[in-house]
Structure 1
Amino acid sequence: MDNFFVCFLLGLICLNLAECRSYAEQIQFPALNCRKHTAILTDFGGKGDGKTLNTNAIKSAIASLSKVASDGGAQLIVPPGKWLTGSFNLISDHFTLYIHKDAILLASQEESDYPLIDPLPSYGRGRDAVGKRYASLITGTNLTDVVITGGNGTIDGQGAIWWQKFKSKKLKYTRPYLIEILFSNQLQISHLTLTNSPSWHVHPTYCRDVIVERLTIIAPVTVPNTDGINPDSCINTRIRDSYIVSGDDCIAVKSGWDQYGIKFGMPTQHLSIKGITCISPKSAVIALGSEMSGGIQDVRAEEIVAINSESGVRIKTAVGRGAYVKDIYVRNINMNTMKYAFWMSGNYGSHPDDGYDPKALPEIKNINFRDAVGKNVTIVGDLIGIEGDPFTGICISNVTVELAKKKVVEELDLFEKAKKLPWNCSDIGGVSSRVTPTPCGLLPEKEVDCAFPSDVLPIDNVVLKTCSIGFGKK
């Protein structure tokens, strides 16, 4: 009775399960850190009926847990059920949001359930429209040691109504993302199924020491801007072992847009990508840009499977972007049914406004692709730099691509490009080695193995702890 009374006074409803409850099942999961205090959403009036709005219950639970998180950390469990909610903020350091394998977090489809927030400083405006944007479903700013995970529980963005409004130009502001964490460090997002986001699914921004792994991300391939994972101006990030089906880039590496990104000046650096399977008929498996005006450097991608996608690896930039994309390393990529294997575009010219600097030229150099195979590919390489600002230091080695048959080319609506050679190059420079079909003349043959770093990034040395929670009544 004493323990219960203490919990009641604190408004925590027995945050420490070991003191307040007895459970039939122990669930284990990997996390950056384990937590001392635990609460279940139902403790705060949550109802998993798929109809009751749980935003206030979730906010109340997080606020209460934040009071004890400094004492060994705290975690909120979303139990089995369908939990409708609007946008909520993870306000606490040393915090875990755990979504049970039989739980579905349902995003509200009401615009009023998503507060309007300012545009990102490195973008200067909303991505969809000038001005403000809707807050993401799960948000957080200036946090340390935060985990969003589960037993492959689901977060469903219920994005259809947002897609319809966007297509019909009925939205005044930029659509919400599913998860966006800003200015934070020691962030983990893992072991979840994410579906049908109104726009991007996972967007860590201005963060350091980020782990994103074992996600299943699924959105209709016909819906634009449903990117999978978008690390944006982040340093020391690893993305691992995930399966993505998207109407846009599966992984889009970003760092700000034109003059705003140049001024903010925060690059994406030291990014490790491994074990990704992607299906994206309208876009890239891995895209670098187009918003890259803070710079992108030291990206390492390997063990990538691309199926029925527009391109394997794509660099998107333009006059006005400034900054750089450099020291990019890709190896062991398997591509099947692709429009392009390798694609670089120096004319990806969408701008936030007329204030961009036409003299701000991007630097694209030291781009390395090696150990790749492709089947049913229409164009092996479409590599178009910028006149007067060529892309340099391109290296492609040990690559074998089988070209698509004429019938498949027609189905992909690439009539004109199919008539050309399998390589299309201008304003680039570099070398190639053991590449079939033979590359363009701007990539002359040279016996070389393109570089891939032998050192290990600090984030790859991080070993997750095995944590446990009690669940289910005895």
Structure 2
Amino acid sequence: MDLKSSAMSHAAATIVIFGLLFLQAAECRNVKKIKDGVTYSAIKCRKHSALLTDFGAVGDGKTLNTKAFKAAVDHLSKSASKGGAQLIVPPGKWLTGSFNLTSHFTLFLHKDAIIHGTQDESEWPILPVLPSYGRGRDAPDGRFSSLIFGTNLTDVIITGNNGTIDGQGAPWWDKYRKGLLNVTRPYLIEIMYSNHIQISNLTLINSPSWHVHPIYSSYITIQGITILAPVNVPNTDGINPDSCSQLRIEDCYIVSGDDCIAVKSGWDQYGIKVGMPTEHVVIRRLTCISPKSATVALGSEMSGGIRDVRVEDVTAINTESSIRIKTAVGRGAYVKDIYARRVTLKTMKYVFWMTGAYGSHPNNDFDPNALPVIQNINFKEFVAENVSIPAQLDGIANDPFKGICMSNVSISLSANPTKLLWNCTGIEGITSNVTPKACDLLLQQQKPVDCAFPEDKLAIEGFNLTTCFAGFAKV
């Protein structure tokens, strides 16, 4: 076996081992088995409950259950003002098209339940383009509704004891590669214009495109999610908060062909017009594997602004970069007040990567004078090994990225690293106790400096979960 094959085999084994360990742990988190059901943690419990099979669903993996899901949600929506309701998806393989959720509602998946997204395009309604994007992400026209969708809702929970939602994305990926789609591929879960959302304790696999997309929403908790997608498929991002505020993303394991987490807020002139930033975000205890993309990306669609993002206790393995800032002339707005600490990186192309020339635009009508402001970026306590390029930091010539701070960073190089270890243009900042030595534009401080990390708590961190019950048998 040659060195390349050996390395690939080692990387594959690492992914499998981490995945199996994480999945094994996932079955236990926040769930306790009791007779004919389980208890689980949630932002709110429900007074009423029903099984999907009460509405004629058949879990054989072949029968289409879109009507059953819709009928169940419609029926349970009548309990919204009477203590709310939960729909329990019992063991089985439940094939369905897109369906909408309702307020004061819980969708709970048994650990042996799999929701399969149908490959019949007619079961995925077409939606208008997002106001802050101005066009579909894949194509200029509209976009397919996500498999699980909701808009203008409050108090929505999608959870389980590690049940699975499978987007069956392969045909969508193939059509995308061949240019056969006129509208944007569907996401797995999308919640719009909503508040008080919980997505937890699930395995999400093979989305046609992004897996979790909260947009124009607030007070969102995403916990204990496993996301698995082929690493060679484009735009299968894990979790993409978009023009949202007060988010807590924690204890997630993501293998993806694109960014594990991508923080966004709209695209060029459309995002500037809508003007909804993503702000007050905490991301912690994340494990990411993404050989072609970032652990956490900020942008590239950031035209509503991104601020106050806190990343801590993150591990990335065989991933292209750690925390990447992506922007361009025409984006406008800002990426500021970004904090990261206790980041462990193993086998990386880049540790630090920032670009002001990302380049993709919805059309040619963007404003060339709309320059993004990138400032107050704080990275500390990074340990990285087997790294090809410590840093590629490219600001904009007449719009430098300012206030970059890096402290207590240790980078071990791969066997054949790039000749220029730190490639820096259009940036300003400082470093302290960083090895190998940073570029001259990041001034090395003679006295120790500890880059900032906020000690206050976000409002979303104060939300306490309560213990709820899901029964799998009729009483």
Q: TM-score, normalised by structure 1?
A: 0.92
Describe the SS at the equivalent of 1:419.
Answer: coil
> Of 340, 349, 364, which aligns to 2:350?
340
- 1:454 maps to amino acid: E
For residue 467 of structure 1, what is the aligned residue in structure 2? 468
Q: 1:44 aligns with which of 52, 55, 58?
A: 55
- Residue 185 of structure 1 and its aligned partner are, at CA, apart by 0.2
Q: Count matched residues.
A: 440
The separation in 2 between residues aligned to 1:186 and 1:313, in whole angstroms, is: 27
Letter in 2 for 1:467: C
**Matching residue's letter, 1:431:** I
Shift of 1:170: 0.7
CA drift at 1:93:
1.1
Q: Does the C-alpha gap of structure 1 residues 335 and 102 become closer, same or farther in structure 2, counting only changes over 3 Å?
A: same
| Letter in structure 1 aligned against 2:466 | K
Q: CA deviation at 1:469?
A: 2.1
Cα distance in 2 for partners of 1:466, 1:432 equals 46
Instruction: Output aligned runs, 1:31-110, within 5 Å.
Output: 31-90=42-101, 92-110=102-120
Change (3 A) 1:450 1:106: same
**Alpha-carbon distance in structure 2 between the residues aligned to 1:387 and 1:129:** 31
Asked if 1:26 is matched to 2:37, the reply is yes
Summarize deviations over 1:295-342 as a string: whole Å, max 9, x none: 000000000000000001100000000000000000000000000001
What TM-score, normalized by structure 2, do the two folds share? 0.92
Alpha-carbon offset, residue 463 of structure 1: 1.1
- Once residues 474 and 103 of structure 2 are traced to their aligned partners in structure 1, the CA distance between those partners, rounded to angstroms, is 29
Give how far 1:24 is off. 4.3
Task: Work out the CA distance in 2 between the residues paired with 1:231 and 1:68.
Answer: 29
Partner of 1:286: 296
For residues 185 and 79 of structure 2, what CA distance do their matches in structure 1 show?
34
2:419 match: 419
3-state DSSP of counterpart to 1:224: coil
Matches within 5 A, 1:29-428: 29-90=40-101, 92-406=102-416, 418-420=418-420, 422-428=421-427
Preserved contact between residue 298 and residue 328 of structure 1 (Cα < 8 Å): yes
Letter paired with 1:42: T
**Residue-by-residue CA offset, 1:281-303 (whole Å, 9 max, x unaligned):** 00000000000000000000000
CA contact (8 A) 1:24 1:473 kept: no
CA deviations over 1:370-399 (Å, ceiling 9, x no partner): 001000001111110001000000000000
Deviation at 1:470, TM superposition (A): 2.2
Give the partner amino acid of 1:307: I
Alignment partners' CA distance in 2, 1:469 and 1:110: 31
Aligned to 1:415: none
SS in 2 for 1:472: coil
- How far apart in 1 are the matches of 2:406 and 2:136? 37
Q: CA deviation at 1:138?
A: 0.5
Give the C-alpha shift of residue 131 in structure 1: 1.4
What does the per-residue CA deviation read over 1:73-125, in whole Å, with 9 as the maximum and x for residues that have no partner? 101001000000000011x2110000110000000011111001001100000
* Alpha carbons of structure 1 residues 390 and 470: separation in structure 2 relative to 1, 3 Å: same
Q: Deviations over 1:385-427 (max 9, x none)?
A: 0010000000000000001102xx5xxxxxxxx122x111000
**In 2, are the aligned partners of 1:304 and 1:333 still within 8 Å (CA)?**
yes
Letter matched to residue 251 of structure 1: I
User: Segments of 4+ in structure 1 off by > 4 A?
Assistant: none
Contact 2:51 2:472 in 1 (8 A): no
Q: Is the 8 Å Cα contact of residues 406 and 432 (structure 2) preserved in structure 1? A: yes
SS at match of 1:70: helix
- Of structures 1 and 2, the larger Rg is shown by 1
**Alignment identity in percent?**
64
SS in 1 for 2:185: coil
Tell me how far apart the structure 2 counterparts of residues 70 and 127 of structure 1 sit (CA, whole Å): 37
- SS for the counterpart of 2:280 is strand
AA aligned to 2:419 is K
Within 2, Cα distance between the matches of 1:368 and 1:245? 26
**Once the two structures are superposed, what CA deviation does each residue of 1:21-63 show, in whole Å capped at 9, x if it has no partner?**
xx94231011110000001000000000000000000000000
Q: Contact between 1:37 and 1:69, CA under 8 Å: does it hold in 2?
A: no
Greater mean alpha carbon deviation, residues 363-372 or residues 64-73: 64-73
Q: Indicate the SS of the match to 1:122.
A: coil
* Shift of residue 473, structure 1, vs aligned partner: 6.0
Q: Deviations over 1:181-219 (max 9, x none)?
A: 000000000000000000000000000100011000000
- What is the rounded CA distance, in whole Å, between the counterparts of 2:341 and 2:320 in structure 1? 19
Matched, 1:444 2:443: yes
Matched, 1:458 2:468: no
Match of 2:434 in 1: 435
Question: How big is the shift at 1:70?
Answer: 1.1
